[in-house]
Structure 1
Amino acid sequence: MIATLLVGMLCVYLLSFTVMFLLISRRLHGEKMGMDAFAVGNLTLGMAYVLQLLEEPAGLSWMSVINHSLTLCSLLAYCVGGARFFGRSTPLLWPLIGVAVGYGVVQVVVDAAWGSVARYSMLAATCALCFVGMVGMLLYGARTFARDLRGEVLLFALLISGICVLNIIKLSKLLSGGLAALSMDGQFQMVFYVYMCSLATILPPSIVWLVLRRLTDALRNMAARDPLTQLLNRRGLTEALDVSFQRPNSRARLLLIDVDHFKRINDDYGHHVGDAVLCGVAEALRGAVRKDDLVCRLGGEEFAAICMGADDAAALRVAERVRSTIEQKVMLQGPRYEGLRCTVTVGISDCFGDEKSLDRAMQAADAALYRGKEAGRNRVEWALPVADGLLSSDRPRKVAEAALP
């Protein structure tokens, strides 16, 4: 009686969260993050348990065959939902139909050849193998594609491990005691459905939490990035610097980068060409800086790169690489754009060691940038004054000489 009540509660949980998942998926325009597949998983598993409540004593019947097929379909739907949540485009409908029909045929053949115990044992063994695969994929994901959700993924792996163990125990009980092991009055069935109710209480809200976290992360990312170039904006740069400067003895240099004659490009060719140039400059910047450097679009045609841990020679190398890469690679194809040449002027600040010093470094690099503009553009200019007293025109030569072997 208690086990039957638990199965009834389980049906209510699953079908209620089916509705919730469907409502959430309807609100997620475009990228549904697997919520539609999770809804299908809950629906098929809920229907399987409804059939179990209506089923006659364990044995071969059409309800039992459909019940087992729906159970496997639910596992497939959950796997597809997980893949879609992590951005893998995975089909659902035809695989579900294939599993439902194929496993139904296999059940009839197995029951006819070896009896109902073999058929029920096959379901327990298949479920256990599926759960082992899920746990393995979750553990792999915690180290690779799901590192940002490591705690949640490990919790899921632990909970799924529990149901895997219960299915292995069910398999052993079926092989040793036959269908009597599935009696709803038995202690094992009670433990099994208590655990399943616990999963139904924990996992669906956890999935909703993961979706909400992804949405808030996406909003935070949108707030921290320039929509045109997808580089950090000023706010994103400040937040990233705050994290970087938490490491001991962190020092950095700021490169301020301004596209030369950008207003002329907009006026002569149109704003859509100007946007294409800005995107080309952003792509060139990503390829020219070092792995741990930060790249930002401050606004308009002005960009910034933070060279973490760079000395004078390293900052000069990065700045020159940025200048030459943009000069060589940022161009538009077609006769209309013949002669369109994009160059930048770069101003380099002195070393600074905390996020509060960014404004000072920005002012120094900005002054150097405008000196570079006045000196003819398409050049790299150092900030003044400098610690060693060198003039701006002397410093690049001295640094370059110091960088030579």
Structure 2
Amino acid sequence: MVATVLVGMLCAHLLCFSVMFLLISKRLQGKKMGMDFFAMGNLLLGLAYVLQLLEGGPAWSLMSVVNHTLTLASPVAYWLGAMRFFGQPVPLLRPLLALAVAYSVAQVLVQWSLGPVARYAMLSGMSALLFLIMAITVIYGVRTFAKDLHGEMVFFAVLISGICVLNALKFMKLLEGGLDALQMDRNFQLVFYIYMSFLATVLPPSIVWLILRRLTDELRGIAARAPMTQLLNRRGLKETLQLCFNARKTEAAYLLMLDVDHFKRINDTYGHQIGDAVLCHVAEVLRATARRGDLVSRLGGEEFVVICLDTDTQGVLHLAERLRLAVEKQALRISDSDQSLHCTVTIGVSQSFANKSALEDAMQQADTALYRGKASGRNRVELFQPADSHHPVQSMSSSTRQISPMI
């Protein structure tokens, strides 16, 4: 009686959360993040338990075959939903239909050749195998594609491992005790249904939490980037730099401030639409040329910033020259025209700094060096020197393309 009540409650949980997931997926519109797949998984499992209640016990019937097929299809739907959540464009109906046909045929063959115990054992064994693969994938994800969801993924791995173990135990009990092991009043079945009810109560809110977490992260990412170029804005630059300093030992960082030369002239000559295209072009060149781990940002207007980590003065000057040369060499083709537009940038380089609180000083230093470069002819790299220093500033000109003192 207790087990029957638990299964009834389990059906209600699964079907209600299936409707909730479907409603959420409708609200998400274009980017459903797997919520429609999770809704299908809950629906399949809920219907499987409804059929189990209607059966009343182990039996060989069409209802039993459908029950087993739905039970096995539900974790596959969850699996596909998880792939969708992490951005993989997988289909839903075709894999589920293929599984339904294949597993229904397998049930008939096993029932006729090995008997009912083997058919029920096959369901438990296949379920255990599926959940084992899911648990391993989740653990793998903690170290690869889901590093930002470390705590959540560990939590899911523990829950999935629990249902995997219970299905493996059910498989062994079926082989040892036959169909009697599936009687609703058995202690093992009671434990099994209690755990399933626990999962049905805990997992759906956890999935909703993941969706909210991902949406919040996306909103934070939108707020941290310039809409046109998709580079970090000033706020995003500060936040990301703080994360970089927190995640590693204190290392020297350098700030490069880049300004597109004669940008007003480009706007006046070609129009603001071409001016915007130039900014996007420069942003793409900087993104492609900067080293992995460097932070590329657009502060506003025609001004860009690159923060270089784990390097020295000589290294940052060579990187700055590489950026300058890449912008100079890569032309922008003007749409609806055979013309190509070449632009250049002047770059000011700050002294090294080792924490976020020194960022504003580094910006001021790079800005001072940048305007010295503008005054010296543009399309060059200037390294900031302390105001009280009488030594010449290091620079790279487009003519010599090597580091040389500039007066």
Shift of 1:201: 1.2
Unaligned runs of 5+ in 1: none
Listed as ranges, the matches of 1:129-144 within 5 Å are: 129-144=129-144
Over 3 Å counting, the alpha-carbon distance change for 1:5 and 1:56 in structure 2 is closer
Structure 2 residue 152 is matched with structure 1 residue 152? yes
**Residue 360 of structure 1 aligns with which residue?**
361
Letter in 2 for 1:179: L
Q: Which moves more between the two structures, 167-176 or 108-117?
A: 108-117
Within 1, Cα distance between the matches of 2:388 and 2:52?
80
Q: Structure 1 stretch 288-297 or stretch 51-60: which is displaced more?
A: 288-297
Q: 1:361 to 1:22 in 2, by over 3 A?
A: same
Give the conservation status (yes or no) of the 8 Å contact 2:333–2:340. Answer: no
Q: Within 5 A, what are the aligned runs for 1:344-355? A: 344-355=345-356
1:336 and 1:343 map into 2 onto residues whose CA distance is: 21
Opposite residue 58 of structure 2, the aligned amino acid is: A
**Shift of the alpha carbon at 1:233?**
0.5
For 1:123 and 1:334, the matched residues in 2 are separated by: 61
| 1:312 equivalent in alignment to 2:313 | yes
Counting only pairs closer than 5 Å after superposition, residues 165-314 of structure 1 correspond to structure 2 as 165-246=165-246, 247-314=248-315
Aligned residue number for residue 103 of structure 2: 103
Superimposed CA distance per residue, residues 122-150 of structure 1 (whole angstroms, 9 cap, x where no aligned partner)? 11111111111111211211111111112
Q: Does 1:54 align with 2:54?
A: yes
Give the Cα–Cα distance (whole angstroms) in 2 for the partners of residues 283 and 357 of structure 1.
27
1-structure distance, mates of 2:125, 2:170: 9
Which is further off, 285-294 or 165-174? 285-294
Whichever residue aligns with residue 284 of structure 1, its letter is V
Shift of 1:261: 1.8
Most deviating of 62-71 and 365-374 = 365-374
How many residue pairs are counted as aligned between the two chains? 401
| Equivalent-residue separation in structure 2 for 1:362 and 1:336 (angstroms) | 38
Distance 1:109 1:27 in 2: 44
Give the alignment's Cα RMSD to 1 decimal: 2.2
5+ unaligned residues in a row in structure 2: which ranges? none
CA distance in 2, matches of 1:296, 1:66: 56
Spell out, residue by residue over 1:311-361, the C-alpha distance to the aligned partner (whole angstroms, 9 max, x if none): 321221111111001111242267835352111011112233332322222
Tell me the percent identity. Answer: 58
Contact 2:107–2:119 (8 Å) recurs in 1:
yes
Q: Residue 347 of structure 2 aligns to a residue in which SS?
A: strand
The CA distance in 2 between the partners of 1:335 and 1:120, in whole Å, is 68
SS at match of 1:336: coil
SS in 1 for 2:352: coil
CA apart distance, 1:295: 1.1
Shift in CA distance, 355/375, structure 1 to aligned 2, threshold 3 Å: same
- Cα distance 1:231–1:124, how it changes in 2: closer, same or farther (>3 A)? same
Residue of structure 2 equivalent to 1:125: 125
Offset of residue 216 of structure 1: 0.6
Distance 1:162 1:362, change over 3 A: same
State the AA in 2 paired with 1:92.
Answer: L
Shift of 1:106: 2.0
Q: TM-score, normalised by structure 1?
A: 0.93
1:263, 1:220 → 2: CA distance? 32
How many angstroms apart in 2 are the aligned matches of 1:114 and 1:250?
Answer: 67
1:87-138 per-residue CA deviation (whole Å, 9 max, x = no partner) reads 0011101211222222222212221222211111111111111111111211
Change over 3 Å in CA distance of 1:312–1:135 after alignment to 2: same
Identify if the C-alpha distance between structure 1 residues 304 and 193 changes in structure 2 by more than 3 Å, giving closer, same or farther. same
Q: Secondary structure at the match of 1:130?
A: helix
Map of 1:20-59 to 2, 5 A cutoff?
20-59=20-59
CA distance in 2, matches of 1:210, 1:2: 33
* Correspondences of 1:323-342 after superposition (within 5 Å): 323-332=324-333, 336=337, 338=339, 340-342=341-343
Q: List per-residue Cα deviations over 1:51-74 (Å, max 9, x = no partner).
A: 100114311012111100111111
Q: Paired residue for 1:343? A: 344
Deviations 1:2-33 (A, max 9, x none): 11011011011111111111111111121111
> Any idea what SS the aligned residue of 1:345 has?
strand
